[in-house]
A and B are shown apart, each in its own frame.
Chain A
Amino acid sequence: QITLKESGPTLVKPNQTLTLTCSFSGFSLDTSGVAVGWIRQPPGKALEWLALIYWDDERRYSPSLKGRVTITKDTSKNQVVLTVTNMDPVDTASYFCAYSAKIFASWSWRKWGQGTLVSVPS
Protein backbone atom coordinates (compact mmCIF):
# COMPACT_ATOMS: atom_id res chain seq x y z
CA GLN A 1 0.00 0.00 0.00
CA ILE A 2 1.43 3.35 -1.07
CA THR A 3 1.27 6.23 1.40
CA LEU A 4 2.77 9.70 1.39
CA LYS A 5 2.84 12.35 4.09
CA GLU A 6 4.00 15.96 3.98
CA SER A 7 5.70 17.69 6.88
CA GLY A 8 7.08 21.13 7.47
CA PRO A 9 6.22 24.55 8.88
CA THR A 10 2.68 25.84 8.82
CA LEU A 11 3.78 29.48 8.94
CA VAL A 12 6.58 31.09 6.94
CA LYS A 13 7.52 34.76 6.98
CA PRO A 14 7.78 36.72 3.73
CA ASN A 15 11.14 36.37 1.95
CA GLN A 16 12.01 33.25 3.96
CA THR A 17 12.66 29.81 2.45
CA LEU A 18 10.07 27.04 2.79
CA THR A 19 11.34 23.48 3.21
CA LEU A 20 8.83 20.64 3.01
CA THR A 21 9.52 16.93 3.37
CA CYS A 22 7.50 14.14 1.77
CA SER A 23 7.92 10.82 3.57
CA PHE A 24 6.60 7.84 1.65
CA SER A 25 6.21 4.07 1.88
CA GLY A 26 5.04 1.27 -0.36
CA PHE A 27 7.43 1.96 -3.24
CA SER A 28 11.07 2.75 -3.90
CA LEU A 29 12.17 5.88 -5.71
CA ASP A 30 15.01 3.99 -7.37
CA THR A 31 12.58 1.78 -9.28
CA SER A 32 12.37 2.53 -13.01
CA GLY A 33 9.22 4.37 -14.08
CA VAL A 34 8.51 5.99 -10.73
CA ALA A 35 8.53 9.64 -9.65
CA VAL A 36 7.42 11.94 -6.83
CA GLY A 37 6.16 15.46 -7.33
CA TRP A 38 4.70 18.46 -5.54
CA ILE A 39 1.44 20.21 -6.33
CA ARG A 40 -0.05 23.14 -4.43
CA GLN A 41 -3.53 24.61 -4.07
CA PRO A 42 -4.25 28.11 -2.73
CA PRO A 43 -7.41 28.23 -0.61
CA GLY A 44 -10.47 27.94 -2.84
CA LYS A 45 -8.38 27.81 -6.01
CA ALA A 46 -7.11 25.31 -8.54
CA LEU A 47 -4.23 22.86 -8.40
CA GLU A 48 -0.78 23.99 -9.59
CA TRP A 49 2.13 21.65 -10.35
CA LEU A 50 5.47 22.73 -8.86
CA ALA A 51 8.17 20.09 -9.32
CA LEU A 52 8.89 16.43 -10.06
CA ILE A 53 11.84 14.11 -9.48
CA TYR A 54 12.22 10.81 -11.35
CA TRP A 55 13.78 7.56 -10.18
CA ASP A 56 16.92 8.38 -12.20
CA ASP A 57 17.26 11.80 -10.47
CA GLU A 58 16.04 13.78 -13.49
CA ARG A 59 14.12 16.82 -12.28
CA ARG A 60 11.47 19.04 -13.80
CA TYR A 61 10.25 22.38 -12.50
CA SER A 62 7.31 24.63 -13.19
CA PRO A 63 8.48 27.63 -15.22
CA SER A 64 5.99 29.80 -13.32
CA LEU A 65 8.06 29.55 -10.14
CA LYS A 66 11.02 31.07 -11.99
CA GLY A 67 13.89 29.23 -10.35
CA ARG A 68 12.59 29.51 -6.78
CA VAL A 69 11.94 25.79 -6.41
CA THR A 70 14.33 22.88 -5.81
CA ILE A 71 13.43 19.21 -5.40
CA THR A 72 15.75 16.50 -4.07
CA LYS A 73 15.42 12.88 -2.99
CA ASP A 74 16.93 10.67 -0.33
CA THR A 75 16.23 7.14 -1.47
CA SER A 76 17.67 5.59 1.70
CA LYS A 77 15.18 7.53 3.84
CA ASN A 78 12.26 7.29 1.37
CA GLN A 79 11.95 11.06 1.39
CA VAL A 80 11.63 13.87 -1.13
CA VAL A 81 12.35 17.47 -0.13
CA LEU A 82 10.94 20.62 -1.73
CA THR A 83 12.41 24.06 -1.08
CA VAL A 84 10.80 27.29 -2.19
CA THR A 85 12.79 30.48 -1.75
CA ASN A 86 11.62 34.04 -1.28
CA MET A 87 8.16 33.13 0.00
CA ASP A 88 5.35 35.62 -0.55
CA PRO A 89 1.75 35.81 0.72
CA VAL A 90 0.58 34.57 -2.71
CA ASP A 91 2.41 31.31 -1.94
CA THR A 92 -0.10 30.56 0.83
CA ALA A 93 -1.52 27.19 -0.14
CA SER A 94 -1.97 23.54 0.70
CA TYR A 95 1.11 21.70 -0.55
CA PHE A 96 0.64 18.09 -1.68
CA CYS A 97 3.25 15.52 -2.56
CA ALA A 98 2.17 12.79 -4.95
CA TYR A 99 3.41 9.50 -6.38
CA SER A 100 3.56 9.21 -10.14
CA ALA A 101 4.14 6.13 -12.27
CA LYS A 102 4.36 5.48 -15.99
CA ILE A 103 1.61 3.02 -16.92
CA PHE A 104 0.53 2.47 -20.53
CA ALA A 105 3.02 5.23 -21.47
CA SER A 106 1.11 7.71 -19.29
CA TRP A 107 2.43 9.52 -16.24
CA SER A 108 -0.29 10.34 -13.70
CA TRP A 109 -0.50 11.31 -10.04
CA ARG A 110 -1.68 7.96 -8.70
CA LYS A 111 -1.45 8.57 -4.97
CA TRP A 112 -1.49 11.82 -3.00
CA GLY A 113 -0.49 12.82 0.48
CA GLN A 114 -3.04 14.53 2.72
CA GLY A 115 -1.46 17.91 2.09
CA THR A 116 -0.11 20.54 4.45
CA LEU A 117 -1.31 24.13 4.66
CA VAL A 118 1.47 26.72 4.58
CA SER A 119 0.58 30.33 5.35
CA VAL A 120 2.64 33.39 4.54
CA PRO A 121 1.31 36.46 6.38
CA SER A 122 1.25 39.83 4.67
Chain B
Amino acid sequence: QSVLTQPPSVSGAPRQRVTVSCSGSSSNIGNNDVKWYQQRPGQAPSLVLYKDSILPAGVSDRFSGSKFGTSASLAISGLQFEDEADYYCETWDDSLKAWVFGGGTRVTVL
Protein backbone atom coordinates (compact mmCIF):
# COMPACT_ATOMS: atom_id res chain seq x y z
CA GLN B 1 0.00 0.00 0.00
CA SER B 2 1.63 3.22 -1.19
CA VAL B 3 1.64 6.33 0.96
CA LEU B 4 0.69 8.34 -2.13
CA THR B 5 -2.49 7.28 -3.93
CA GLN B 6 -2.74 7.29 -7.72
CA PRO B 7 -5.44 5.85 -10.00
CA PRO B 8 -4.25 2.58 -11.57
CA SER B 9 -5.02 3.75 -15.09
CA VAL B 10 -6.22 6.64 -17.22
CA SER B 11 -6.77 6.72 -20.95
CA GLY B 12 -7.49 9.17 -23.71
CA ALA B 13 -7.63 9.55 -27.45
CA PRO B 14 -4.80 11.17 -29.40
CA ARG B 15 -4.71 14.97 -29.04
CA GLN B 16 -6.88 14.84 -25.91
CA ARG B 17 -5.85 16.03 -22.45
CA VAL B 18 -5.54 13.61 -19.55
CA THR B 19 -4.74 14.17 -15.89
CA VAL B 20 -3.16 11.89 -13.30
CA SER B 21 -3.88 12.59 -9.66
CA CYS B 22 -1.68 11.93 -6.64
CA SER B 23 -3.22 12.13 -3.18
CA GLY B 24 -1.21 12.30 0.02
CA SER B 25 -1.27 13.95 3.42
CA SER B 26 0.06 16.91 5.39
CA SER B 27 3.29 15.04 6.17
CA ASN B 28 4.20 14.55 2.51
CA ILE B 29 2.52 16.45 -0.35
CA GLY B 30 1.10 19.04 2.02
CA ASN B 31 4.57 20.10 3.13
CA ASN B 32 6.98 19.14 0.33
CA ASP B 33 7.33 19.52 -3.39
CA VAL B 34 6.20 16.80 -5.80
CA LYS B 35 8.10 15.17 -8.64
CA TRP B 36 6.69 13.11 -11.52
CA TYR B 37 8.44 10.32 -13.43
CA GLN B 38 7.60 8.61 -16.70
CA GLN B 39 8.49 4.95 -17.19
CA ARG B 40 7.98 3.44 -20.60
CA PRO B 41 7.75 -0.38 -20.80
CA GLY B 42 11.10 -2.04 -20.22
CA GLN B 43 12.87 1.24 -19.51
CA ALA B 44 14.15 3.12 -16.49
CA PRO B 45 12.05 6.01 -15.15
CA SER B 46 12.80 9.56 -16.29
CA LEU B 47 11.97 12.87 -14.62
CA VAL B 48 9.19 14.87 -16.29
CA LEU B 49 8.33 17.45 -13.59
CA TYR B 50 9.93 18.67 -10.36
CA LYS B 51 9.07 21.19 -7.67
CA ASP B 52 5.39 20.55 -8.45
CA SER B 53 5.37 22.12 -11.90
CA ILE B 54 8.83 22.78 -13.35
CA LEU B 55 9.82 21.03 -16.57
CA PRO B 56 13.39 19.69 -16.77
CA ALA B 57 15.30 20.66 -19.90
CA GLY B 58 14.23 18.61 -22.89
CA VAL B 59 10.81 17.59 -21.57
CA SER B 60 7.84 18.47 -23.75
CA ASP B 61 5.74 21.44 -22.63
CA ARG B 62 2.67 19.26 -23.16
CA PHE B 63 3.37 18.11 -19.61
CA SER B 64 2.26 20.34 -16.75
CA GLY B 65 1.85 19.95 -13.01
CA SER B 66 -0.05 21.48 -10.14
CA LYS B 67 -0.51 21.06 -6.43
CA PHE B 68 -3.29 22.07 -4.05
CA GLY B 69 -3.18 21.16 -0.40
CA THR B 70 -2.37 17.46 -0.06
CA SER B 71 -2.96 16.54 -3.71
CA ALA B 72 -0.99 16.99 -6.90
CA SER B 73 -1.78 16.46 -10.56
CA LEU B 74 0.07 15.77 -13.77
CA ALA B 75 -1.60 16.84 -17.00
CA ILE B 76 -0.66 15.73 -20.50
CA SER B 77 -2.14 17.80 -23.29
CA GLY B 78 -2.19 16.89 -26.97
CA LEU B 79 -1.86 13.21 -26.04
CA GLN B 80 0.46 11.22 -28.30
CA PHE B 81 1.16 7.48 -28.58
CA GLU B 82 4.69 8.10 -27.27
CA ASP B 83 3.10 9.22 -23.97
CA GLU B 84 1.92 5.68 -23.23
CA ALA B 85 3.77 4.81 -20.03
CA ASP B 86 3.51 4.44 -16.29
CA TYR B 87 3.67 7.69 -14.33
CA TYR B 88 4.78 7.95 -10.71
CA CYS B 89 4.52 10.84 -8.27
CA GLU B 90 7.12 11.19 -5.53
CA THR B 91 7.85 13.39 -2.56
CA TRP B 92 9.50 13.43 0.87
CA ASP B 93 7.48 12.27 3.87
CA ASP B 94 8.32 14.16 7.07
CA SER B 95 6.84 11.48 9.35
CA LEU B 96 8.42 8.46 7.67
CA LYS B 97 11.63 10.38 6.94
CA ALA B 98 11.69 8.75 3.54
CA TRP B 99 11.17 9.48 -0.12
CA VAL B 100 7.84 7.93 -1.09
CA PHE B 101 6.40 7.03 -4.47
CA GLY B 102 2.83 6.65 -5.57
CA GLY B 103 1.57 3.30 -6.83
CA GLY B 104 1.86 4.42 -10.44
CA THR B 105 -0.70 5.19 -13.14
CA ARG B 106 -0.74 3.52 -16.56
CA VAL B 107 -1.60 6.07 -19.26
CA THR B 108 -3.06 4.45 -22.38
CA VAL B 109 -3.63 6.19 -25.69
CA LEU B 110 -6.74 4.77 -27.32
Contact = CB atoms under 8 A, between A and B. Distances in A.
Contacts of B51: 104-106, 108
A25 interface: no
B102 A62 contact: no
A63 B50 CA distance: 24
Given A106-B50, A108-B50, A114-B44, A47 B101 contact: yes
Interface residues of A, number: 24
A47 B35 CA distance: 13
Contacts of B100: 49
Residue of A106, A114, A115 with most chain B CB atoms under a 10 A cut-off: A106
A110 interface: yes
Contacts, number: 61
B45 A112 contact: yes
Interface of A: 37, 39, 46-49, 52, 60, 62-64, 96, 103-110, 112-115
Interface of B: 2, 33, 35, 37, 39, 44-47, 50-51, 54, 56, 88, 90, 92, 96-104
20 contacts: A39-B101, A46-B101, A47-B88, A47-B101, A48-B101, A52-B99, A63-B98, A64-B98, A104-B50, A105-B51, A106-B33, A106-B35, A106-B51, A106-B54, A108-B35, A108-B47, A109-B37, A109-B90, A112-B44, A112-B45
